Amino acid sequence: MIGEINFDGLVGPSHNYAGLSPGNLAASLNAGSVSHPRAAALEGIAKMRANLALGLTQGLFLPHRRPDRAWLTSLATDPAGAAPWLRAAALSASPMWAANAATVSPAADTKDGRCHLSVANLMTMPHRSHEWPETLAQLRLAFADPAFAVHGPVPPPFGDEGAANHMRLAPGHNAAGVEIFVHGVAGGGFPVRQHAEAGRVVARAHGLDPARTLHVVQSEAAIAAGAFHNDVVAVADGLTLFAHEQAFGDPAGFYAELRRMLPEVAIVEVPASAVPLGDAIRSYLFNAQLVTLPEGGQALILPAEARETPTVWAWLEAMVAGNGPIRRLELVDVRQSMANGGGPACLRLRVVADPARVDPRFLVDEAKLDRIARVVEAHWPDSIAPDQLGDPALWTRIEKARAALLDLLELRELI
């Protein structure tokens, strides 16, 4: 049966704070701190358990090879000889942010009636630019069924960062929806991650109806304030768009077009007078999972930081006490991910499909999460300090940890 599957990226054993993303305020602020890969992965597993408890279908994407020795070889170096920033880029655990894995169009929206996935190229950041081949390999395994079409990346020079800059609104999983591609133009000195043409390429590749597709500009103010992806200032689910007043370059024009295409849409806009843009970004208010629950109604799955930000929590409490579509708040602790610049929505890629068509090795239940947690507890490093990134013993431990996970999940073909 067609439904929404949330695929979370498991935090890898190389999780560290190297501060590799200019414009990502949390990542820059925590650069040089000691990370805790084991705790980070267990936080992510707890988040997946919480989704299962809500009755949601849960999937998993796996850590990539780290250090990425092949990438360093292509740069005519190796872990021992690489400059420190290149070594850090080769050790990055950023594939855990599955929202950047791909852009997904459900079968109800596409010309050929298949679910289409286009792997993101992530070319604007060196530490992420080498992710897509391994992400593509996982996508082609997980979605090998003919019900899916998996596409390669948008070619350079058009930067594409996947579902973090894409939203879909529809009255149901089996109903045609409106797909929204959000791109940047200027970022107040910060790099713009999503190119306008990338969204158009993906829309054409997926066979989307131009009459039900929107290409929207993210506001320069949002990017300059640290909203490096649209999902830091807006999120959508079902017929609900939840966004900050300053999320888009032309909100009035965007909302008018959206209401013309989908008259029943509910736009929940948070005013800057109630929640300043800086508070929204620091708390990752919008980097929440907005989900439709099996029993009906919508819930926001929020980072714990939302409750710790007074303006944000006051607005949320008032919202759920009202008559709007979002009536439930669920808090999760993903502090290790948050400290590197990614909240609950960053950690997941939503795919609307029949779970029976997905390779079961990429789906999880409580028992499988128990087994994964045991591997994490046995093999993931407890901590990684910045001066350890050049330690060959750490590289070996990271590689062995990932191999133990792949053995458990019977996915040795990804070694």
In angstroms, the CA 166 to CA 234 distance is 10
Q: Does residue 346 carry a catalytic annotation?
A: yes
In angstroms, the Cα distances linking 225 to 26, 229, 278, 311, 365 are 12, 11, 7, 17, 38
What is the structure's pLDDT at 281?
93
Identify the H or E element spanning 405: helix 392-409
What is the structure's pLDDT at 339?
85
pTM of the model: 0.96
Q: In the chain, where are the structural domains located?
A: 3-414
What is the structure's pLDDT at 190?
73
For the domain spanning 3-414, the CATH number is: 3.75.10.20
CA torsion, points 211, 217, 222, 223, in degrees to nearest 10? 120
Give the amino acid at 375: V
Instruction: Tell me which of 36, 330, 346, 379 is the catalytic residue.
Output: 346
In angstroms, the Cα distances linking 146 to 107, 246, 349, 396 are 12, 41, 20, 38
What is the structure's pLDDT at 19?
66
From the list 335, 312, 313, 315, the residue with the least C-alpha distance to 324 is 315
Instruction: Tell me which of 131, 161, 179, 330 is the catalytic residue.
Output: 161
Residues of the chain with pLDDT under 70: 19, 21-28, 30-31, 187
Largest Cα separation within the chain, whole Å, is 60
- Alpha helical stretches, state H, 36-142: 37-53, 69-74, 84-91, 126-129, 132-142
What is the structure's pLDDT at 112?
98
What is the structure's pLDDT at 330?
97
What is the structure's pLDDT at 97?
96
What is the structure's pLDDT at 27?
57
Give just the sign of the alpha carbon dihedral 287, 10, 238, 207. Answer: positive
What is the structure's pLDDT at 21?
66
Instruction: Tell me which of 15, 116, 166, 229 is the catalytic residue.
Output: 229
In angstroms, the CA 365 to CA 52 distance is 7
